[in-house]
Amino acid sequence: MADWGHGIRAKSTIALLLACLVALVPAILIGWQVVERIRGHFGEAYARNFTELHGERILGPLARELALTRRLAGSVAVREWLHDEADPALRTRAFREAEGFRADFLGRSYSLVSIKGLAYHYNDDATPYSEAPRYLLDPAKPDDAWFFSTIKAEASQNLNPNPDRWLQKIMVWVNVLIEDDGERLGVASTGVDLSTFIQSFVRTAETGVTPMIVDAAGAIQAHPDSTRIAFGSGATGTAAEAATLPSLLASAAEREALAGAMQRAAAAPGQVQVLEAVLDGRRQLLALTYLEALRWHLVTAVDLNTAQIIESGWLKAAVAALVAVVLLLLGAFTVAVDRLLLRPLRGLHQSATALAEGHYDVRLPPPGRDELGDLNRAFERMARQIKNHTDELEEKVRSRTQALSESNAAMAEAQKKIGDSIQYASLIQRALLPDTQLASLLGEHHFVLWRPRDVVGGDFYLFRAEDEQYLVGVVDCAGHGVPGALMTMLARAALDDAMNRHGIGAPAALLTHADNTLRGMLDQSTLPRAIATNMDAALVSVDRRARRLRFAGAKISLYWSDGEEVGELPGARRALCDRRVGDYQQAELELRPEVTYYLVTDGFLDQAGGELGYGFGNSRFARLLRAHARLPMQEQAAALDRELDAYRGAHPQRDDVTILSFRID
């Protein structure tokens, strides 16, 4: 055993000590938590200070506007005129008084509205001076609701953001009742354009900070996003739920906390209340204070993840120093591991590579006194053993490869013979099909779609003509491939015998005779029970002189279509050679020249396809016939073939497919 002082364990211990220096993750996590707490502390202080300063910034100018509007509402000249609006001298005196205030208002505008006449008077720098009313207010119009709500309210003043239909812009109005000895005479107002108000008092350049103004009910009176403002709520006292601050919060608990904070702020004007809430999908600090002179709450939403709460310079310096230390430690760790561990292992790796390439006489590095030396010696012994085993295996492989080549050659010869036999059987099966007779008698008035799943198949069709009658039919034997093809020989022999004995005029009698014949053939044979011997069949006897068609089927139906409707004559429920003897009945139809008749095996109807892998189905087949029944026969064949391939898609063909179709000209 190697000495511990020079062993790989001592080297691993040194490498582990270096790795522990790199394990700064706990320290980074703790530091991150400290930074988060600091940011939360400073964020709350920042929100309080911002709200206080912003409140003073808003309160001063708006309180001045409110005071000026009160003075205008208390003007003796204005009150005397409203007592006698028809007196031109009083009107001129009142408007001269009002013009004196206009220059001092922020929006350089004022309006006077009388309760008696409901006349709305307005003047600003952008419109020509006029003592005449701009328009008359109407209690039925929602745009004028602010006035009627103001004169009915208990408060003698309000601040109200509202769209002005005459000015065609959104204004923030300071409304004050004009009273004389308790009698309400009208309303004096001054307005500031909402965009100017927001730009001057609400919008801020600070990232992650959203100031807003709400009334006592939580309706938003000012917001950097003007679509969130509850227009008209300052006068009417009502607002849509979507335009209130509580509706923007994520939970009922947060809405209750906001209501409590607003009550505390209203009870202690000038103090700032702070709470956390999810606003606009982000957790933010909400700092709010009550502006008593305006009867508004100023709310500041601070997103601590984006707001510049902490100076980022020292954080960047700390991160840079940490990265430098980590890189230095990683470099030292890399050098130590390379010298103490990787360099010896690299020599052993080169020897192992040479051994893997088949050079068993490699020269291994000189063994040392530590565990790597033990590994070298063990590797040398392994190399010698591998060389011996390889020599033995190569000899065995040579002998077995020769035997395998001989077996493969014999198998290939046998496979070729089987393939040739199946191809020959396919030629025989194809030669037995009555294509020539069909073409000679029916010509372009028929088509056959015959697609065996394998080289040979279990489907076949037959045809026989006698004078003005002929018989067509399709047969689907159980199974496919070679077993199905062999069953077709038995079925063809049984049907030929039936036609020879009974003629071609009674399809039901032919099926019954063929069923009995097949049962007699198979009873004489010893077949395993697992082999299926049943077969589906359908026969149609056409009497062109009588213009009649007789049909009998065993689990195969006769379909017909004239392009507008689709009909079906179902076959019997029992197949030929079924476990129970079938009762085959005969149906008769009148021949119609505009109708196309179809015999189809279940290989077409049961073919899997589509997105879910369901069978093609009778309903889809009926729609297909209705769409193509009036086409020429060869075009119909091509269309049916395309539809089947399109529906099948990547699914394999499950069974042999046969369709025999004909018309009577």
Put residue 157 in one of left, alpha, beta given phi > 0 → left and psi -120 to 50 → alpha: beta
pLDDT in tens, 171-188: 778 889 999 888 898 999
What pLDDT, on the 0 to 100 scale, is given for residue 28?
65
pLDDT tens for residues 133-152? 988 988 888 888 888 888 88
| 54/287 Cα distance (integer angstroms) | 11
Task: Report the pLDDT value the prediction gives residue 4, as an integer from 0 to 100.
Answer: 39
What's the DSSP call for residue 338? I
For 112, other C-beta atoms within 10 Å of its C-beta total 27
- Of the two residues 598 and 371, the one the predictor is more confident about is 598
Per-residue pLDDT, 347: 66
Rounded CA gap, 514 and 504, in Å? 13
Percent of the chain with pLDDT over 70: 78
Residue pLDDT, tens place only, 542-599: 999 999 999 999 999 999 999 999 999 999 999 999 989 999 999 999 999 999 999 9
Mean pLDDT of 511-530: 80
Distances (CA, A) of 420 to 133, 413, 425, 455: 109, 11, 9, 11
Domains of the chain: residue spans and CATH: 41-302 (3.30.450.20), 433-662 (3.60.40.10)
- pTM of the predicted model as reported, rounded to 2 decimal places: 0.43
pLDDT value, residue 343: 65
Tell me if 265 sits within 8 A of 290, measured CB to CB: yes
Tokens coding 181: 């000895």
Q: Is the pLDDT of residue 9 over 60?
A: no
pLDDT of residue 413: 81
* d(C-alpha 238, C-alpha 231), whole Å: 9
Residue 262 confidence class, pLDDT cut points 50, 70, 90: confident
Give per-residue pLDDT as tens, 438-455: 999 999 999 999 999 988
What is the chain's mean pLDDT, rounded? 82
Q: d(Cα 326, Cα 309) in Å, to the nearest integer?
A: 28
Task: Give kind and range of the element (H or E) at residue 457.
Answer: none
Per-residue model confidence as pLDDT tens digits over 397-443? 888 888 888 888 888 887 787 777 778 777 887 888 999 999 999 99
Strands annotated E in 502-642: 535-543, 548-554, 558-561, 566-569, 587-590, 596-600, 608-609, 614-615
Identity at 585, one-letter amino acid code: Q
DSSP string, 242-258: GGBHHHHBSSHHHHHHH
Model confidence at 257: pLDDT above 80: yes
Q: What is the mean pLDDT of residues 256-269?
A: 86
pLDDT per position as a tens digit, 271-303:
888 888 888 778 888 888 887 766 778 888 888
